[in-house]
Structure formats: structure tokens, C-alpha cells
Amino acid sequence: MKKRILKGLSVLLGTAVACETYYEPAYGVPEPDYGTSYMQFRYDLQGTVTDAGTGDPIPDAKVVFEGSSDTTKADGSWSIEAWLGDPCGDDCQVVAQDVDGDDNGSYQDSTADIDPQAADTGDADFVQHDIAIEMEPN
């Protein structure tokens, strides 16, 4: 009885080892994957953030697009390069946030719909450089 179990085990183990050995080469050679998960669309966005009341530029505001962000410079300008797995289509938005509190004024978050255009040339897939975001003072 004990012998039969041992024999059975060795057969099982032998099979397992054989299977592993047999399949191992398949793991060592990654197959090319042309699925959509590897498609990336580059967004090249630029714009300004200004005070909705005075038109003055707002420095040090945070501008966010699909998880990528930039901080506005002294002249209110910002630029974001983002890579997305899917084009944002009709839902393209940027959000400006006052992240420095009452320094240089206090502003409400502002969301702007944008419409980046597919690029014919260059290496950016979608481009928009004239995104003007106005923030309302609190």
C-alpha cells in the first residue's frame, strides 16, 4: 500500500515537473501584444489661468488633466503633456485649483471644457495651446 502511494506521488511529481519544463520556454519568450492596452495617446496642452474679475494672471495654481498636472508660472501660463490609454473625446476637461490658500488671493476651483485637435504632424496626437481658464475669487 505504501509503495503504491509513493509510486503514485512520483508519477504526479514527474508529470508536474514535465509540464513545467514543457511550458517554460513559453514564459521566456514574451509574445508581441498588439492589444489596446498598449495604445497611448499623447496630449500636448498649454494655456493660462487668470482672475475672472480682473483678468490678472494667477501664479501657483494647480492645473490638472487626467491625472497629470502643472503649476502656473508668474504669467499664469501652464503646460501639460499627458499620455492616455483612450482619447478623452467629448469629456476633455482641465481643472484649475487654488492650492496655496490665501496667498495671492483665494479662488474657487474652475473646470474648463477643452477640445484638443488631432495633430497631423509632429509626435503629439492631440494638441491645444490656447486653453484659457478663469477662476472666480472666493
Find all residues with CB under 8 Å of 1, minimum gap 6, and list them: none
From the CB of 59, what's the least distance to Ca ion, in Å?
9
Q: What is the torsional sign of CA 55, 129, 64, 115?
A: positive
Give the DSSP letter string of 41-59: EEEEEEEEEEETTT--B-T
From the CB of 107, what's the least distance to Ca ion, in Å?
6
CB atoms within 10 A of CB 4: 8
Q: Is 95 helix (H, G, I), strand (E, B) or coil?
A: strand
From the CB of 97, what's the least distance to Ca ion, in Å?
10
Asked if 100 touches Ca ion (CB under 5 A), the answer is yes
User: Residues 98, 114, 125, 131: which binds Ca ion (CB under 5 A)?
Assistant: 98
Asked if 44 touches Ca ion (CB under 5 A), the answer is no
In the range 1-30, which residues lie near Ca ion by CB under 5 A? none
Asked if 109 touches Ca ion (CB under 5 A), the answer is no
Using CB under 5 A as the criterion, which residues of the chain lie in contact with Ca ion when the complex forms? 98, 100, 104
